[in-house]
Amino acid sequence: MTTREDCLELDRKDALAGLRDEFSLPAGVIYLDGNSLGARPRAALQRAREVVEHEWGTDLIRSWNKAGWFELPLALGDKLAPLIGAGPGEAAVTDTTSINLFKALAAALHLQAADPARADRRVIVTERGNFPTDVYIAQGLAQWLGQGYQLRLVDRPEDLPAAIGADVAVVMLTHVNYRTGRLLDMAGLTRHAHDQGALMVWDLAHSAGALPVDLNASSADFAVGCTYKYLNGGPGAPAFIWVAPRYLDRFRQPLTGWWGHANPFAMQSEFVPSTTIRSALCGTQPTVSLALVECGLDVFAKTDIHSLRQKSLALTDLFIELVEQRCAAHPLELVTPREHALRGSQVSFTHPHGYAVVQSLIDKGVIGDYREPGIMRFGFTPLYIRFVDVYDAVETLARILDEGDYDLDRARDAVT
């Protein structure tokens, strides 16, 4: 049985342990919610000051050129690229995940509609258990396009291959499920989709920065993702979008704002799409939030994603092992796959009183979160979570469950 001393020893031997110093973490807190909002890189405070005080306050409008504000979405896309198996000029950091997904889906459907052999395909395949906004965005787009476009919602990941048939225009999947933490086979599913004549859109919200992602090696077509979870870009920081190089010159999406124009400052009255990744841009971006994304990405330059993945799996293995040992008497059920190849960087357990238990954990400084139905989520960001944090978190959970120390009548917060 793993002891606290064993965990301290694992931390002493951990070659990545020093990365924790790159982050500012509050005292007395074990933060297992980096899968929802990543912790703050220390550098972000100084960077925020620089942007607000000097770039905005002193240099004012000149910062569009001088501080490179206009180039930020592409510069950050290039900096992010190695983490998702992309090359330079293929990704941009801009807008929100929902909006980028709308662009990617619309572009994919447009490409299919332009191909005589595929123009009659009308089905978008996704998981019913995908993050809701992904499903909603696809529903909204299908409804507005009309012409019979429809969603096919698949209940179990195992059933995905069978659901991807000759009537499917686009498959849109989230690489790691937000509730279960289950990791899908990007290369295999993409190959299957292509074999069936469908295009493949990946949402990397719970995988970018958490584990190795290789979009180009998987021959994926489009991808979107989030910078404020495992990438530690700051609350609600702009999301990213990736376009496979073979589609860059014909990426067409309905949000044709001026930043996507081939020559935005010519101020022409006719939209001419850029033939670069700029065609995925739309309007002026929130510069302060955008600039802070760089601080999160800079941390990854000090390590490599394969080492992070090893540590992440060690952390989640340990958490599962300890919970199953210490909390065996309680009605917890592991939702996350045990198999490494099927696991992201989070572990989810259900409990009949999951919401109340999570609130009690938070009150005691162990921050996880709750997702309907009954799911307690614990994210393990290998950049700043220690093995001893895992041990202490499980001890706290065990004590809460042993003592029934949670309040079933507690009013729910607006945001859970």
Output the CA angle 318-25-375, nearest 5 degrees.
45
d(CA 70, CA 316): 40
| Residue 53 in the binding site for its own copies (CB under 8 A) | yes
Q: What one-character-per-residue DSSP string does 228-260 give?
A: SSTT---TT---EEEE-GGGGGG---S---GGG
Q: Which is nearer to its own copies, 194 or 364 (CB)?
A: 364
369 is catalytic: no
| Residues 69-88 contacting its own copies, CB under 8 A | 69-71
How far out from the chain centre does Cα 163 lie?
A: 24
d(CA 223, CA 74): 15
| Residues 227-266 contacting its own copies, CB under 8 A | 228, 234-239, 253-261, 264-266
**Is 228 a known ligand-binding residue?**
yes
| Residue 396 in the binding site for its own copies (CB under 8 A) | no
**Is 134 a known ligand-binding residue?**
yes
Residue 194 CB, nearest approach to its own copies (Å): 25
**Is 203 a known ligand-binding residue?**
yes
Give backbone dihedrals phi and psi of 273, rounded to 5 degrees, phi first: -65, 140
| Residue 157 in the binding site for its own copies (CB under 8 A) | no
| Residue 287 in the binding site for its own copies (CB under 8 A) | yes
Q: Which is nearer to its own copies, 325 or 416 (CB)?
A: 416
**Is 206 a known ligand-binding residue?**
yes
d(CA 143, CA 192): 26
Residue 352 CB, nearest approach to its own copies (Å): 18
Instruction: Tell which one of 158, 339, 409, 413 touches its own copies (CB under 8 A).
Output: 413
Residue 408 CB, nearest approach to its own copies (Å): 19
Distances (CA, A) of 364 to 123, 399, 405, 411: 47, 11, 11, 18
Q: Which is nearer to its own copies, 17 or 29 (CB)?
A: 29
Residue 409 CB, nearest approach to its own copies (Å): 18
Instruction: Tell which one of 141, 172, 173, 208 touches its own copies (CB under 8 A).
Output: 141
Q: Is 365 left (phi over 0), alpha (psi -120 to 50) or beta?
A: left
Q: Give the list of residues 6+ apart from residue 218 with CB closer than 8 angstroms, or none.
A: 85, 186, 187, 190
Catalytic center residues: 131, 203, 228-229, 377
